[in-house]
């Protein structure tokens, strides 16, 4: 690797509060110093005037479908989408075919992703085959490279099993990422329970399907201990429960996704199956609660829950189509447009939720700009207006309700370990 200087950008480090127009000097993949200076011969200069230089964004919740459903997404296409969206690292969920529940599968993901434009962080299943029965070998999987454990998409409904999971989490200091859903309440539902579901004649999913499971897990966490992170929070009641638990000192963290602070169930009328996700889009009250939870720190992380599906699958209709939307290439723009521009979050707060906090929760490198750190950086044009064009997505899939939306702010380049990976189009 050579020597690089990123010149003239606004450098913002959410870990320290550093915010200044200055140069970032990089050598052999590491940040060597911050500060102005003249570039010597042989130093590559990246001109960043008018751009923001941020820690590399980290998405701790994506689905890349490989192995098993490569027609939807592969590690290569998903990585390209991540880089295009400004991410330098992503954590991939284990619900592939076969499920990532063994050492060989974790190693396969790491080997397959080696040399790609972004770091791939494997998440292993909590139970074998995500069947909710036998626990995986957490210690061996973590040694192989798993950064967390989740049966995402499949809730751990058996309370006795969840007690064992949290006990293992406490003993091994392992992170558990929970998909909070009570199937007896959600079964057969495809969108939020409410007026839209009634008018469309489909079964709805009540917010209690999420919040009641969160209440159970928070009670168990308070009793047993461990490390619990709650995925894709969507409901007002859920935010209130987590806020109260944190106030009591319960060591829980959580995330939401951009669709939960930008859209309501009304989007289903326009976008149909491309606005169908699990948990579902909910009401204006829920959107307001998610925004409040982001602003007051109750919600730690913004993750995309990138869930690609083929067009023919989403064309099956609202009830038969699979849950999920793609999000890697729209997440940053939605955060800047919907949260930062209106002043709900500062730039530093938004970047913390998309870089520093995921790194801290997953306990991986990243989220900081300082001497000695790996040069994982995202260059952002914060004032550039652009239109979401699914025809230019790097992802293999196009299932999004944001097609045609005008957003302000986008990533124009990432550096992973000091190497340029993508430029803005």
State yes or no: is 305 an active-site residue: yes
Give the Å distances, CA to CA, from 168 to 66, 159, 160, 177, 252. Answer: 28, 14, 13, 13, 16
Mean pLDDT for the chain overall: 96
Of the candidates 281, 280, 398, the one whose C-alpha atom is nearest the C-alpha of residue 330 is 398
Q: What is the pTM of this model?
A: 0.97
| Fold classification of 56-362 (topology level) | TIM Barrel (3.20.20)
Q: What would the pLDDT profile of 183-237 be if each residue is shown by its tens digit?
A: 999 999 999 999 999 999 999 999 999 999 999 999 999 999 999 999 999 999 9
Q: What would the pLDDT profile of 95-105 be if each residue is shown by its tens digit?
A: 999 999 999 99
Q: What is the pLDDT of residue 41?
A: 82
State the sign of the Cα–Cα–Cα–Cα dihedral 326, 149, 181, 243: negative
Q: What is the pLDDT of residue 424?
A: 44
Please provide the CATH number assigned to the domain covering 3-52+373-384+392-423: 2.30.40.10
Q: What would the pLDDT profile of 366-423 be if each residue is shown by its tens digit?
A: 999 999 999 999 999 999 999 999 999 999 999 999 999 999 999 999 999 988 875 5
Please give the Cα distance from 229 to 322 (Å, whole number). Answer: 24
**Residue 363: other Cβ atoms inside 10 A:** 11
**Residue 425: other Cβ atoms inside 10 A:** 9
Cβ 61 vs Cβ 305: under 8 Å: yes
Q: What is the pLDDT of residue 42?
A: 84
Find the mean pLDDT for residues 109-128.
96
Q: SS3 of 198, please? A: helix
Q: What would the pLDDT profile of 22-59 be if each residue is shown by its tens digit?
A: 999 999 999 999 999 887 888 999 999 999 999 999 99
Domain with CATH 3.20.20.140 in the chain: 56-362
Q: What is the pLDDT of residue 187?
A: 96
Cβ 119 vs Cβ 416: under 8 Å: yes
Domain with CATH 2.30.40.10 in the chain: 3-52+373-384+392-423
pLDDT classification of 425: cutoffs 50, 70, 90: very low
pLDDT classification of 1: cutoffs 50, 70, 90: low
Catalytic residue chosen out of the listed positions 305, 376, 383, 385: 305
């Amino acid at each position: 690797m050579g020597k690089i200087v990123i010149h003239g950008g606004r450098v913002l480090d959410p870990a320290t509060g550093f915010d200044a127009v200055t140069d970032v000097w990089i050598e052999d993949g590491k940040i060597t110093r911050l500060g102005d200076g003249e570039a010597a011969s042989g130093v590559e200069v990246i001109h960043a005037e008018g751009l923001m230089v941020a820690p590399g964004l980290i998405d701790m919740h994506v689905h890349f479908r490989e192995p098993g459903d490569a027609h939807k997404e592969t590690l290569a296409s998903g990585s390209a989408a991540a880089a295009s969206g400004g991410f330098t690292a992503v954590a991939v969920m284990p619900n592939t075919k076969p499920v990532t529940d063994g050492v060989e599968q974790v190693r396969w993901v790491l080997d397959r992703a080696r040399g790609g434009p972004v770091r791939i962080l494997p998440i292993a299943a909590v139970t074998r085959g995500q069947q909710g029965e036998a626990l995986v070998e957490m210690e061996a999987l973590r040694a192989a490279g798993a950064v967390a454990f989740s049966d995402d998409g499949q809730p751990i409904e058996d309370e006795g099993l969840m007690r064992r999971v949290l006990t293992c989490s406490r003993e091994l200091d392992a992170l558990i990422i929970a998909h909070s859903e009570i199937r007896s309440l959600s079964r057969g539902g495809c969108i939020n329970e409410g007026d839209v579901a009634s008018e469309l004649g489909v079964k709805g999913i009540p917010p209690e399907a999420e919040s009641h499971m969160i209440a159970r897990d928070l009670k168990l966490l308070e009793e047993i201990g461990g490390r619990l992170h709650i995925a894709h929070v969507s409901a007002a009641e859920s935010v209130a429960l987590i806020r109260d638990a944190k106030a009591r000192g319960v060591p829980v963290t959580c995330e939401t996704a951009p669709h939960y602070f930008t859209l309501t169930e009304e989007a289903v009328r326009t976008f149909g199956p491309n606005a169908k996700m699990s948990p579902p889009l909910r009401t204006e009250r829920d959107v307001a609660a998610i925004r409040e939870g982001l602003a007051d720190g109750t919600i730690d992380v913004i993750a995309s829950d990138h869930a690609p599906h083929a067009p023919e699958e989403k064309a099956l209709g609202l009830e038969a189509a699979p849950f999920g939307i793609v999000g890697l290439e729209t997440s940053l723009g939605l955060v800047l447009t919907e949260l930062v521009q209106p002043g709900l979050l500062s730039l530093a707060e938004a970047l913390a939720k998309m870089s520093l906090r995921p790194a801290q929760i997953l306990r991986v490198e990243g989220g900081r700009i300082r001497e000695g750190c790996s040069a994982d950086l995202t260059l952002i044009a914060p004032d550039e207006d652009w239109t979401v064009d699914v025809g230019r997505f790097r992802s293999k899939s196009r299932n999004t309700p944001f097609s045609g939306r005008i957003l302000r702010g986008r990533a124009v380049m990432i550096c992973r370990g000091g190497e340029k990976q993508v430029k803005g189009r």
